[in-house]
Structures are given as structure tokens and as C-alpha cells.
Amino acid sequence: MRRRVSSLAVALMLLVSTSPSRADGWNVFTVGPMGGVVFGPEQPALGLLGGEITFVHYGNASGRGVGYGGFVQASAVGFERARVSFGPQINTSIFGAEVGATFESATKERAAFVGAHLAPFVSIGFASITFQLDIPFAPLSDGPLPPVEMVFGGTLKLPIDLKYGVLSPLKALR
């Protein structure tokens, strides 16, 4: 029975990976600088400076419809702590959402932590704006956890089509 389930799983993976909709899709990476403001109920507003890399797959070559993929962000918050977030993302038209994990280093006043990252965004291919909500749930060092962190940020992006290379802003707006 176990062998039959394994064989069926392999056959299904091969079928999905070679389907025409997947082969005709559009795959794009974006990379760029990210900036913004981090704030919360128990902390002053601090600047955020870093970068973001995303990968998005669309089911059709036009890039229209639903896109799904992942993101990684790394940044400095007020030049006093480091912040890294990553996870899956989904988008349609210009609207999207990230859901993932966030890690932040400790300061003298609070613990390093791991938490949930939730972020709706608006993107036009070469630029995006976002409102992120990071909810700490596990300390990684001694000290209190912040109750919640919010980020209002923006990213400039260089879209890179996996088939055709770097896209101009007009092509990115497809």
C-alpha cells in the first residue's frame, strides 16, 4: 500500500510540473531596496532600511490573474536591531498579501523574537507599498516581548523575467 501511494504521489508531481498551464506561465524575480517606518504601542517610531527579494509565478504568460510565490526581506530598524521576514505571497492585479515569519534581534530593552508576519500590499511591478503587522509570539533571548510591531513601507523593485531578463518599467506593468 505504501509503495502504491508513493508511486501515485510521484506520478501526480510529474503531471503537475509538466502541465501546459505551468509550462506557459510567467516567472519573475524582483529585487530592490526597501524603506519605511516601524512603530508600535510601546516603542518610538523608527526608520527601516533594507531590501527585498520576491519570486512570483503566474499561470499564464501575460502575468494576469493570480500570482503566487515567496518573499524574503532583511532590514535594519533604527540602526539598533536587525529584522528578517520570509514566507509565501499571493497577488492578483495590483493587490496582494504576504503571510510568513519574522525574526528580530534583541536590544537592551527587549528580547529577540520570532513572530507572525502579515502584510497586505499594492504593487505595480517595479514599486510597492505595504502595511505590515508583525506579532511576536516566542522570545529568543532574555527580556520582554513587544506586543506588536507595525511597518508602513515601500520597495523599489527591479523585475527580472526568468526567460527574457530584466524588464523595463513599462513591461513590468503588463
- Contact predicate 49/73, CB 8 Å: no
Model pLDDT for residues 50-96, shown as the tens digit of each residue: 999 999 999 988 878 999 999 999 999 999 999 999 999 999 989 99
What count of other Cβ atoms lies within 10 Å of the Cβ of residue 113? Answer: 23
At residue 8, the pLDDT reads 43
pLDDT tens for each residue of 102-125: 999 999 999 999 999 999 999 998
Q: Rounded to 5, what percent of the chain is helix, strand, coil? A: 15, 60, 25
Q: How is residue 105 annotated by DSSP?
A: -
Whole-structure pTM value: 0.81
Instruction: State the amino acid at position 62 in one-letter form.
Output: S
Architecture of domain 21-172: Beta Barrel (2.40)
List the domain boundaries for the chain: 21-172
